[in-house]
Each structure stands twice: as structure tokens, then as C-alpha cells.
Structure 1
Amino acid sequence: MNAQLLIKFIIGLAIIALILTNKIVPYLRDKLFMNISKSGYFRIILAITVVSVFGVAFNNYQESKQKYTVADNEKVKKERLIRNAFEASKNEVKLQLKSPSTAKFATEFDDKSKYKINDDESVIIQSYVDAQNSFGATIRTHFRCTVDKYGNVNDLATW
């Protein structure tokens, strides 16, 4: 049930209990043998209402906090998966370069870098690297590969 609706319901019940004070207090005295004054009854209803409202509000806060935590964990997991996949692909591409020390890779946030996360948590990376060739000229090389969730690079293609 919605927390706001539940709080309104609790407050409504408290108001009804207070309106019926003149009928409930004599009933408690006569039938249940509870010696209670009208002011004592009022305090009990108020205490029950306050505790109930705070309990519902706190429970709602805890549930929303858990929802955000789960969402944040999924976001962090996705970011880590992408970052690790890009690092693995960079390391594999460096092995094919003539001058890997001159390599300047695009980041995962670059406009020309693209990625796709598959259902099996493998990531398809498409990006580029600028590095010197054997003549010393800086050449842009595009690459595409699939990185599995363990960081193994497959299907590396360059052009």
C-alpha cells in the first residue's frame, strides 16, 4: 500500500477514535474493566498514531533507500564492466601496434567510441587509437572486438 495513503488512513482512524471518545471510554470502563480517563485515552490514541505514522514513514524511507542502492549497484557494475572491457581491448590492440608506447586511445566517453553490453555480460567495443607506424607517422587505427565478462578479447578486427 502507498505510504501516504496508509498515513492518511491511520490519521483518519485516530480522528474517528477521538470523535467517539464519549462512547469508547465508558465501554472500556464497564465491559473491559479498564479504569481510564478521557485525557489518558487521548494520550494513548495520540501515542499510537504518532508511532504508527513514524513507523510507516521510516519503513517507506528504508524501502526507497534499498531501491536506490540496488539501482546504484547496477549502475556501478555496468560502469566497471565497460571500463574493464575498454582496458582489455586497449591492451590487446597494443600488442598489434608497431609503436605501442605512442598509442593514444579514445576513452569510453569519446563520441566515436561505442560499446554494447550483451546479455552474457560480454561487451562489444568499437573505438580507435592514434599511434605511430614503422615510418614514424601517426596513424589512426579503428578497431572492434568483443570482450567477455572475464576480460578475454575475441574477434579483434582493425582497419
Structure 2
Amino acid sequence: MPYESAVLSKAREEAAKDPRADVRSRSGVAPSNVGSAASIKASNSFWLYILVFGVVALAYGLAYSFFGNGGADKSKPDDCTRTVAYRVAMNIVAKNLKAPATAKFPGDWQESVSVEKAGICKFRVVGYVDSQNAFGAMIRTHYTLNVERMSDGKQWEGTAFTTF
């Protein structure tokens, strides 16, 4: 027993001098196999760089999603398409019906619908709509409508609305 206590006290003295000595003595790993302080520091700095990069990328993504493209012109050139013009025309025509909730328009690219470009962001839409009249009967109404995006780039206007 006195030998064991002498060994323990010597191990405690070594651990007080070198903090890694205690780890080596408890783990049973030879000193040559324990990672050096430089390699541990390099490994930690690698993960720190990865973490900082991830935080910066996340912050940039959130800022872009909230603030968009920094106040540049928000209207996209593809807002002036035939599809958008047809959707605008459907809304204008539906507002002029006796029963707008019953309106049934044909699909965008059917032969019975014509959307022709008439200028910069100006279209002439020719089509039909099936809806109920004042007596509740379903009727087909053919229409022609010119639609144009206003200069503010946000609103559309319908002109020359005729039915036949």
C-alpha cells in the first residue's frame, strides 16, 4: 500500500505540472499519439471559419429576401406577357357581367382566344366567356378588349371593351 500511495502522489504532482499528463495517464494513450496543441487549434479554427461563413451566408440570404434587389425597378420585363394580359382581360370582363361568379373562361392557349401584341405592354384580347344572364340561363358572350399596363408599371387598364 505505501508503494501505491507514492505512485498516486507522484502522478498528482505530474498532473499539476502538465495538464495533459493526467489525460494521458488516465486514457492509457502514449504521449506520441495524443494530438498536439497546434493541430487541435488548427482544427478548431477550421470549424470556426465554417461557422462564420454559414452565418454570413444566412444573413445575406435573409437580407436579400427582405429587401430584394436593393430598390431597383421592381417591375420585371416578363410582366408584359400574353398570359398576364389575358388574366387582366378576364378580370375586367368578369366585372362587367350580371353574375361574375358564374364566369367560365376558356384556357389561355385555346384556339378561341386571341391575345395579340399591339405595342409596348399593350394587347388586344379577343375571346368569350360563359356566364349566367339576368334570368339564370348560361349564355356565351364574345368580347374584344384592349389592355395596357399603365406607366407606373403596377396597374393595367382596359379600353375599347365590346361584346358581340
Q: TM-score, length-normalised on structure 1?
A: 0.48
Larger radius of gyration: 2
Q: Which has the higher contact order (CA 8 A, sep 6+)?
A: 1
Q: TM-score, length-normalised on structure 2?
A: 0.47
